[in-house]
Amino acid sequence: MSIEIKNISKSFGSFTALKDISLKIENGELISLLGPSGSGKTTLLRVIAGMESPDPNPDSQVLFFGEDVARKPVGDRKVGFVFQHYALFKHMSVFENIAFGLRVRPRSQRPAESAIRDKVHSLLNLIQLEGFGNRFPKQLSGGQRQRVALARALAIEPQVLLLDEPFGALDAKVRKGLRDWLRSLHDELNTTTILVTHDQEEALEVSDRVVVMNQARIEQVGAPDDVFHQPASEFVIDFLGNVNVFHGRVNQGQPVLENIQVGGSRESIPDGEKANVYVRPNDISIDRTPTGKSSMAAIVTRINRAGVHAKISLELSSKEEIRVDVSMEQLQELHLQLGDSVFVHPNKARVFVPDFTI
C-alpha cells in the first residue's frame, strides 16, 4: 500500500527532528531512510507508526492508501514495528511472543487456538526457527531474536513493516546474512517496508529506493544507483562511502585544483568561487609518469593490501592526503613502494560550488 507523508515537522523542545518532510512510498516497495544519528530518520519512522505525533500544522498529513491516519492510534494503523534491541517479551516463549498480536485481539476478531497455532508455526517456518517455539528470548542469539521480532510483527499481517535499525545491534557477519534474508523475504511477501539505517552499505544493497536524510531534512530520494552515482549534494556524496575532497577555486568557469582542471565547466559561475571537488578512491589512477595536464605529483605514504582492493594513501605536494583504491594486479604492475613519487589523476569527479551546484 502506498504511504504519503506531507509537510511533516517535529520538534522536541528546541531541537528540530523533522523539518517539513514530504515523501511518497509506493505499494510493495522496500525503502530505506538513511542518515547519521540525529538526522531525523527514526523520528520519521515513529511518526509513520504513530508513536510520535507531528507538530500541529493544517497542511501536514500522514496518508495510508489515501486515508489520513494522523489521528489514528498506533494499534489501529496495522503497522509491524521491529526495534533495534528486539523488544521481545522476555517472560514469554518464542511461540507466545509471535502469538501476542493475535491473542490481544477483541474476542470477536480473535482466531481460534488452532488457527493461532498454525499461524505461529508457519511464521516459525518462515524465519527458519522451527522447533524453537518453546525457547525463551534469552536462550536465542541476537540474529535469532531479531527474526522472532520480525515474525511477531508479521503475525498481525501488517499493511506496512517498519524496521528501526533492525541489524544495528548485530555483528557484521550476522548483519550481512540477515540483510540478504530480509531482501528475499520482502520479494516473497511484498509487504511495503521502511527500513531505518545509518549503514550506507546496507541501504544501498537492500532497498528499492533510498531516502538520504540530514539535519531533519531529506537530502535526496532515489534508487541506490542514482544516489550513489548522481549524488544531489555534498552531504550525500560524503555520506555514501569513502571520498576524497579537494578544495579548489573556479577559474574561467572551470573548477581548478593546483592549477589543474577537473570536471566539467559551467560559464555562469564567476571566477574565484570556492569549488569542492569530490573523487571516489576508485576513480583515481596512479601512474609513474604524468599523463595529461590533470596529473598531480604525490608520494606514497601507506599501502594496505588487506581486502579485495589495495588501499593506497598518498600525500600531495599541498600536504593534502588522498586515498586511492587500486586492484591487486595494478599494484603489482606499478611495483609501488612506500615513499615512491608518483602521479595521480582523477578520472571522474563531482564538483560542488557552494550556492552554484554544478
Partner 1 sequence: MSVNAKDLQTGSNDPLWVRTTVITISVTFVALMLVLPLGVIFYEAFRKGLSAYFKAFQDRNAVRAITMTCLAAGIAVPLNLIFGIAASWAIAKFNFRGKGLLIALIDLPFAISPVISGLIYILVFGMQGWFGKWLEAHGIQIIFAVPGIILATIFVTFPFVARELIPLMQEQGSEEEWAAISLGANGWQTFWRVTLPNIKWGVLYGVLLCNARAMGEFGAVSVVSSNIRGGTNTLPLHIDALYNDYNSVAAFAMASILALLGVVTLVGKSLLERKLEQESISSLESKTTEVS
| Contact residues: partner 1, CB under 8 A | 49, 51, 73-75, 79-81, 83, 85-91, 100-101, 104-105, 137-138, 141-145, 149, 152-153, 155-156, 169-171, 173-174, 177-178
CA 78 from chain centre, in angstroms, equals 24
Least Å from the CB of residue 171 to partner 1: 6
Nearer to partner 1, 134 or 341 (CB): 134
The alpha carbon torsion through 286, 290, 291, 297 (nearest 10 deg) reads: 60
Nearer to partner 1, 25 or 170 (CB): 170
**Residue 311 contacts residue 323 (beta carbons within 8 Å):** yes
Nearer to partner 1, 15 or 89 (CB): 89
Distance of alpha carbon 145 from alpha carbon 337, whole angstroms? 48
Distance of alpha carbon 178 from alpha carbon 334, whole angstroms? 39
CA end-to-end distance (rounded Å), the chain: 37
Let me know if 251 is exposed, middle or buried by CB neighbors in 10 A (0-12, 13-18, 19+). middle
Least Å from the CB of residue 51 to partner 1: 6
Least Å from the CB of residue 290 to partner 1: 49
Least Å from the CB of residue 110 to partner 1: 11
Least Å from the CB of residue 205 to partner 1: 19
The residue type at 265: S
Burial per residue of 168-191, b for 16 or more beta-carbon CB atoms within 10 angstroms, e otherwise: bbbeeebbeebbeebbebbeeeeb
DSSP per residue, 74-115: GGGS-EEEE-TT----TTS-HHHHHHHHHHTS-TTTPPPHHH
Q: For residue 12, what are the contacts with CB-CB under 8 A and spacing of at least 6?
A: none
Least Å from the CB of residue 189 to partner 1: 18
Nearer to partner 1, 90 or 348 (CB): 90
Nearer to partner 1, 189 or 232 (CB): 189
Nearer to partner 1, 52 or 219 (CB): 52
CA 319 from chain centre, in angstroms, equals 33
Nearer to partner 1, 47 or 296 (CB): 47
Least Å from the CB of residue 191 to partner 1: 15
